[in-house]
Structure 1
Amino acid sequence: MNRISLIQVLLSGVNSSIGSILLKWSRTSLPVDAGFADKFLSAGFIGGAIFYSINVVLYAKALDSVEVSLAYPIVAGSGFAIVTVAACYIFGEPFHLFKWIGLSLVLAGITFLAQGG
């Protein structure tokens, strides 16, 4: 995998993560009885959709020169890692031992996959 493709794959994961965080924020920042327009036309929801769209474009471009069997685990794993850490700091979600272990295993798996590419 060349450097540009790796950057595209990693940026795809970052954009996916930002999209997830914005979607979570859009759900937690509104009252439970918020209407349809408030839920799906909020800044967080629209921002999340935009970042997911950027994710798709970057991922598709990376697939021009990277095997999907390598690119997808990197996008998913990096996204998982970023969201896990960000959710802890932004939303106060717990970050206990099993999350540390799972995160370590995901990152190890990405490393092994990248070595084969």
Structure 2
Amino acid sequence: MNELPLVLVLAAGLNSCIGNILLKWSRTSMPADAGLLDKFLSVGFIGGLAFYGINIILFAKALDSMEVSIAYPILAGSGFAMLAAASYYIFGEPFHLHKWIGLALVLAGVVFLARGS
């Protein structure tokens, strides 16, 4: 079995995670009274858009040989898992028991979907 589509989907999930982190950073690093143009031309916002774009390219390539009904849940689940951990370490967002349980369920679903392909 060719593992490249799964690797592409996971790489797309990583790019989605990075894009979300940059988007959040762009919002928290700007002064509250920053203008609209400043907010949308910030390094974090533009960087987030770039990583979202890479996400789409990688995901589209994975769909060449992978079912979308399998690929998308893996993309979303892996992106969520990476984002939950990254937001805890980078922004100090809380990571309580309910998030651990939810993360475990998401990861279990990703494993089942990946093995089902």
TM-score of the two chains, using structure 2 as the length reference? 0.97
| DSSP-derived class of the 2:100 partner | helix
| DSSP-derived class of the 2:32 partner | coil
| DSSP-derived class of the 2:64 partner | coil
Aligned to 1:65: 65
Please report how far the alpha carbon of residue 3 of structure 1 lies from its aligned counterpart in structure 2 after TM superposition: 1.3
Aligned to 1:51: 51
Deviations 1:58-94 (A, max 9, x none): 0000000000011001110000000000000000000
| DSSP-derived class of the 1:2 partner | coil
Q: Which amino acid aligns with 2:109?
A: G
Please report how far the alpha carbon of residue 113 of structure 1 lies from its aligned counterpart in structure 2 after TM superposition: 1.1
Count of equivalent residues: 117
Q: Which amino acid aligns with 2:64?
A: D
Q: Which amino acid aligns with 1:82?
A: M
TM-score of the two chains, using structure 1 as the length reference? 0.97
Aligned to 1:6: 6
Report sequence identity in percent: 69
Q: Return structure 1 stretches of 4+ with deviation > 3 angstroms.
A: none
Unpaired stretches in structure 2, ≥5 consecutive residues: none
Please report how far the alpha carbon of residue 32 of structure 1 lies from its aligned counterpart in structure 2 after TM superposition: 1.1
Unpaired stretches in structure 1, ≥5 consecutive residues: none
Aligned to 1:34: 34
